[in-house]
Amino acid sequence: MAQIAVLSDLVANQIAAGEVVERPASAVKELVENAVDAGATEISVRVEGGGLALIEVQDNGMGIAPQEVELAFIRHATSKLRTLDDLRRLGSLGFRGEALPSIAAVSHLTLHTRMRDAEGGVGLVMEGGSVLSREPVGCPPGTRVTVTDLFFNTPARLKFVRSLQTESSHIVDVVAKAAAARPDIAFRAMVDGRTQWSTPGDGRLETVFAVAFGATAARTALKLEAVHADYSISGVLALPEFSRAQRTGLWFSVNGRPVRSQALQNGVVDGFAHAIPKGRYPLILLSLATDPSLVDVNVHPGKLEIRFSEERDVREFVSQAVADALQAGMRPAAVKMVSHEPNDSDGEGARAVAPPVVAQARPPSSSSIAPGGQEYRTASLDRESSQIAFALAQPIDVFSSLPLVHETVETQPTAVETGSATDGATAELRGADTHPQMPVGIRAVAQVMQMYIVAQDADAVYLIDQHAAHERVLYERFRDEAAQRGWLKLDLLVPLTIEVPVREFGILNLAREQWIEFGLIVEPFGEQAFVVRSVPHIWEGLDIERLVKDVFADQVADQLGVDKEIGSTRAMRAWQDRLIMRSCKAAVKANQKLSLMEMDALLQSLSTLQNPFTCPHGRPTAIVLTRQQLEKEFKRSL
């Protein structure tokens, strides 16, 4: 066995650099965090050659005291904490004292720093972690760190570096996420002499959202505000139509720190569950504030991931906040019209036209007073049309008790005004109190392809997917019924016996007591089967055996899947949602002919919903062509 020896400072710093400085973007992240902790209000990042040739981070923060300049490059020297209790209640981004010595160990580094009340600054030049020179310099208040020849003495690290363009993109992403976490700080990132990111530091997440995701998404984005006993949320989210196939649009920060968090991600996905299709992800900037003692930021070498003491609570809180924001601001999808004009401004031959603002209609409620204190008057409605049932081979009379339409004052949403990504874009978004709905005066004109309803009002033409629309009607009806009055059960004349695998029997037997309130009553029959005696009444006329087996499969998946700590409250809500989704299979199908009266009844019912614009699976129920859009396409507005 070889003799045990203490590593030299150089080797130890290079090992630490391998953990802290994984790639050029890691160095930028550490330097930006130091600038934020220094109280900077302006931070500028300049890189060349993917960050390998040059990284320069300059801030206007408090600077470093002259007598502490060299001390800043000693491992574990930090001004952020003194005791273990400080770590439990950490309020700064950096805290380990590894960033500067780790970066200096694998580069040529120059530091210029000056405290705000000092007459001059200090310049320090280092190579591979060793100080080459120190001298007084003239420089503005704050700190400028210049890093060149990154990884010059660790060539093995260069093998893991991607293309220069990829590395530059990662660096811009670091700056962008930092700006989203601290919108009160002005950030600028220049790559090879060109500005790639710029925000003014006006303190508004809306501004950062517009720069990050563009003016089109920002123009109709929604504000997100929520308060919990232990947490508060602020944020901006795009409408479901802007969803992506990747998670790149999920930006999170906690207490001003850009983070990755499975709890936050799952909460957002849960909140969008019935607004976008599975496998799609929204665009969102979400900032969460909480007591630092409830968050562990020391679980990842690069401080990228965090852990909450109550992951489940955070997930549920975020999910509800996102769902509420969506409910308050959904609207029909716009139609992209092909333009044949030679000077098309977007260069792609197509442009999206926003749908019209429509009269609001609140969802049915047991009270006639809206949450904001406004009193609603019920409008007279032809009872014959409101009691029309679809001529379907199913016993559910879906329109037998349509709620009366509510009259409200029309509210105009505020449009976003944005500039380019480099001129400090600003955005004014609709507040959470906006509740756009399908217009109450919409009337059916025809059915096309036995799948879509063509409808109109005074300002627009609507195309409605009859199956998706009816599915949404049923979903909200069943959901409200479960929340307000509980579920009615349907006793089976002939009980149904269903066999299950032995390993699943115990799981299902423990869960069956929870199902009673939903009308599903099962009893054990031997050690490998259940007898189904009652089902939810909304299953009448459907394939009951298949639906019960689906519920069994979902319950087992919950217990055996990765989300074992979902919690009893959330598990019951998730199970209830799935039960409702099963019920939505009663919706009218495509290729089913409808009369005008049936179509009108469906539209009237759709106009009263909380979210009429997507089915429970996230597909759109309607798209719109505005009068202005049609006149422009037919050259009538010239």
DSSP secondary structure letters along 352-380:
EEPPPP----PPP-SSSB-TTS-B-EEPP
d(CA 292, CA 304): 16
| 428 located within any domain | no
Q: Which domain holds residue 250?
A: 205-330
* Contact residues for 425 (Cβ-Cβ < 8 A; gap 6+): 199, 207, 210, 211, 215, 218, 418, 419
Specify the pLDDT at position 575. Answer: 64
The residues, any chain, with a CB within 8 Å of residue 367's CB and separated by 6 or more, are: none
Instruction: Please tell me whether residues 594 and 612 are part of one structural domain.
Output: yes
Give the domain-ending residue among 199, 224, 251: 199
| Inter-residue contact 473 to 464 (CB < 8 Å) | no
With respect to residue 499, please indicate whether it lies within any of the assigned structural domains: yes
Q: What is the CATH number of the domain that holds 100?
A: 3.30.565.10
Residue 427 lies in a domain: no
* Shared domain check, 378 and 309: no
> Domain total for the chain?
4
Question: DSSP state, 537?
Answer: G
Which candidate, 74, 265, 40, 45, places its Cα nearest to that of 176?
A: 45
Paired tokens of 338? 């092909």
Q: Which two tokens stand for residue 540?
A: 């009448």
Specify the residue for token string 């060299």: 70
C-alpha span between 584 and 252 (Å, rounded)? 34
465 and 509, same structural domain? no
pTM over the 0.75 mark = no
393 and 459 inside one domain: yes
22 with 112, same domain: the answer is yes
Q: What is the pLDDT of residue 53?
A: 95
Q: Report the pLDDT value the prediction gives residue 570, as an integer from 0 to 100.
A: 55
Q: Which of 150, 183, 199 is the last residue of a domain?
A: 199
Q: Do 154 and 63 fall within a single domain?
A: yes
Strands (E), 152-237: 186-191, 194-199, 222-227, 231-237
Q: Are strands 350-353 and 333-338 parallel, antiparallel or unpaired?
A: antiparallel
- Residue 552 in any domain: the answer is yes
* Interior angle at CA 536, CA 534 and CA 537, nearest 5: 100
Task: State the Cα–Cα distance between residues 8 and 11, nearest whole angstrom.
Answer: 5
| Whether residues 268 and 407 fall in one domain | no
* Residue 426 counted as domain residue: no
Distance between CA atoms of residues 495 and 530, nearest Å: 10
Same domain, 391 and 457: yes
Question: Is residue 26 domain-shared with residue 94, that is, in the same domain?
Answer: yes
DSSP lists the bridge partners of residue 351 as 337
CA distance 531 to 499: 9
Q: What is d(CA 170, CA 152) in angstroms, rounded to the nearest whole number? A: 20
Measured CA to CA, the distance from residue 427 to residue 387 in angstroms comes to: 45
In a domain, 423, yes or no: no
Final residue of a domain: which of 265, 296, 330? 330
Structure tokens at 385: 């049309």
- Closest by CA to 207, choosing from 427, 21, 414, is 427
For residues 70 and 153, membership in a common domain is answered with yes
188 domain residue, yes or no: yes
Q: Could you report the average pLDDT of every consecutive run of 10 residues in the chain (638 residues)?
A: 61 56 90 92 96 96 91 69 50 62 92 93 93 94 95 81 85 94 96 94 95 88 92 93 87 92 93 84 94 79 76 92 85 56 39 36 31 29 30 31 29 32 35 55 91 92 92 82 71 92 83 84 91 87 82 75 47 65 74 91 88 83 89 80
Q: Is 503 exposed, middle or buried (0-12, 13-18, 19+ CB in 10 A)?
A: exposed
Q: Are residues 243 and 322 in the same domain?
A: yes
Q: How far apart are the first and last CA of the chain?
A: 89
Handedness of CA 468, 469, 473, 474 (dihedral sign): negative
- CB 387, CB 399: distance < 8 Å: yes
CB-CB contact of 213 with 220 (8 Å) = no
Q: How far apart are CA 502 and CA 511, in angstroms?
A: 15
Distances 255 to 4, 11, 183, 294 between C-alpha atoms, Å: 43, 34, 12, 11
Other residues' Cβ atoms within 10 Å of the Cβ of residue 592? 17
Q: Which residues of 172-189 are buried (b: 16+ CB within 10 A; e: fewer)?
A: bbbbbbbbbbbbebbbbb
Indicate whether 425 belongs to any domain.
no
Helix or strand (DSSP H, E) at 134:
strand 130-137
Lookup result for tokens 């975020």: 318
